[in-house]
Amino acid sequence: MDKVTLQTKLGTAVRERRQALEYSQDTFADAIGMHRAYYSAIERGERNVTLATLAKVAEGLDMPIAALMAQAKL
């Protein structure tokens, strides 16, 4: 699996979880201390996130990184 596919799958899983929690992108990005444009790029699969960034996003989504990765089928 190439990097773009990995990023896209992860971004889709993040978006689905955020929407299930009924957060807007703006509200969620603000809650985790991230710029909305950067967070939006994660959801679109345009960012190759670090483990620290992934941990911040997963914590905001109230789920372990492993569960987020499983939801993304990675």
In angstroms, rounded to a whole number, what is the distance separating the alpha carbons of residues 70 and 74?
6
User: Are 66 and 4 in contact, with CB atoms under 8 Å apart?
Assistant: no
pLDDT above 90 for 4 = no
pLDDT tens-digit map of 15-31: 999 999 999 999 999 99
Domains and CATH numbers, the chain: 3-71 (1.10.260.40)
DSSP readout, 24-71? -HHHHHHHTT--HHHHHHHHTT-----HHHHHHHHHHTTS-HHHHHHH
Amino acid at 52: A
Q: What is the pLDDT of residues 62-74, one digit of tens each?
A: 999 999 999 999 9
On whether the CB atoms of residues 4 and 47 are closer than 8 A, the answer is no
